[in-house]
Structure 1
């Protein structure tokens, strides 16, 4: 952390996306603003250049790690499956995130993850994903309607029940929470060392904590969306920021 900046520095994984005619390493404004405004940290973008150097060196200079959502899917080969559809993949981000998760565990670095990031942590710790939740009997529709406005897409979609005595229940002081739902994939089997923190009404795991970390929280929903208007989501970023400051 810079001596002239009291804010912790938090690494943010980059997606690699084509903005024709070039590839760009990028992260969404909504995540960066939520980190700066609600967590009170300085976000630092981490490029997905694992072919050039070990990404773990990033974390030696950082106080926390944030794994964003994304429009690409974790490649199924990472949990020993083949793709069932033809979605967008980002193998460079996969490599970056999995290396950073491993390095954060080694360093006990505060980690907060949302949506794709939530799925990455599960896969990194040996879990598996449903590639298409809408094709799984007994599960509700978790995708957003892309024909709607962003405000409508990110509106609360369902409740999640919080695990008794879990981190979320302690932070939020409640037993349930209304969340948005904008995901195609979700947890099939939970990774090693992860403890369930919240479930959707259909039983799908929607949040977990990483037991090996002093602060390690991952949620399937998007807590960053208009975070200043959602006190409970704001609290999650505050808790992450506090962990980074500690």
Structure 2
């Protein structure tokens, strides 16, 4: 049995769920790969956050967690969120996740809670900051095919590296890798069309598609990635560095939150942000 180190608790990271159907039951779920990456590479404790806004108590959440993750999903952000024509009826959507995420983000970002957003989460963040999405990035002139390909292949094949991304100089990712280009996987048909206000491009695909950004003016870490670093930890030094850096940001947040709890200063005020 693993010993319990009460003196060094791990930071707590809330991971947004998808609402799916399981034997006709509504279920709140997250793929295990994200949870393992957080546990093993970021050294934090993931907890699942249900996508039922009526269950979401923001004061409780903000005083409890040290980080938030928006993971990827097969579902798409509702086009009405960025004032576009509705997606086709057959397109997989998750209105419960949309409602929860967009009600959660203002306070998470304002309070400086470290935020890591991957794939759908990356797109959610762009929309939150006022950006728009392209629903078929592979149809752009001279575009790469960013989709995962045939679903009959073994799952590991879906996540093989597919193309390079150029790391923008003087950004966060450039501090995590010395390489000007890194190989990444690609499993998406939607992507950034117009970049949201206040977002800084961190990486570009060879066809010009935005693959990563940060919110440089936010009080805490806000990092969005279109690719899936959680599936590349075995061979990608950058993926390791991304989760390690995110874990460090969550530990800073944990220390700040603990200091307020110890002093009692948070009884009548919201948790202030941590500079990262």
TM-score by length of 2: 0.85
Q: What's the secondary structure of 1:39's corresponding residue?
A: coil
What is the aligned partner in structure 1 of residue 257 from structure 2? Answer: none
What is the aligned partner in structure 1 of residue 115 from structure 2? Answer: 111
What is the aligned partner in structure 2 of residue 68 from structure 1? Answer: 71
The alpha carbon displacement at 1:95 in A equals 1.2
Q: Would you say how many aligned residue pairs link Structure 1 and Structure 2?
A: 245
Does 2:162 align with 1:157? yes
Q: What's the secondary structure of 1:206's corresponding residue?
A: strand
* Aligned with residue 200 of structure 1, among 196, 201, 205: 205
* Unmatched 5+ stretches in structure 1: none
Query: Aligned partners of 1:156 and 1:95: how far apart in 2?
Result: 32
The alpha carbon displacement at 1:84 in A equals 4.3
* Unmatched 5+ stretches in structure 2: 253-276
The verdict on how the C-alpha distance between 1:54 and 1:80 changes in structure 2, with shifts beyond 3 A counting, is farther
The answer as to whether partners of 1:15 and 1:90 remain within 8 angstroms in 2 is yes
What is the aligned partner in structure 1 of residue 171 from structure 2? Answer: 166
Query: Aligned partners of 1:229 and 1:31: how far apart in 2?
Result: 16
The verdict on how the C-alpha distance between 1:226 and 1:202 changes in structure 2, with shifts beyond 3 A counting, is closer
The answer as to whether partners of 1:126 and 1:192 remain within 8 angstroms in 2 is yes
Structure 2 counterparts to residues 1-246 of structure 1, below 5 A: 6-55=9-58, 57-85=60-88, 86-145=90-149, 146-211=151-216, 212-246=218-252
Deviations 1:87-106 (CA, angstroms, capped at 9, x unpaired): 10001101111222211111
The answer as to whether partners of 2:123 and 2:133 remain within 8 angstroms in 1 is yes
Query: Aligned partners of 1:192 and 1:60: how far apart in 2?
Result: 28
The answer as to whether partners of 1:14 and 1:45 remain within 8 angstroms in 2 is yes
Query: Aligned partners of 2:125 and 2:46: how far apart in 1?
Result: 20
Q: What's the secondary structure of 1:117's corresponding residue?
A: helix
Deviations 1:211-243 (CA, angstroms, capped at 9, x unpaired): 213311110000001524432201100000000
Aligned Cα root-mean-square deviation (Å):
1.6
Query: Aligned partners of 1:222 and 1:26: how far apart in 2?
Result: 18
TM-score by length of 1: 0.94
Query: Aligned partners of 2:69 and 2:234: how far apart in 1?
Result: 18
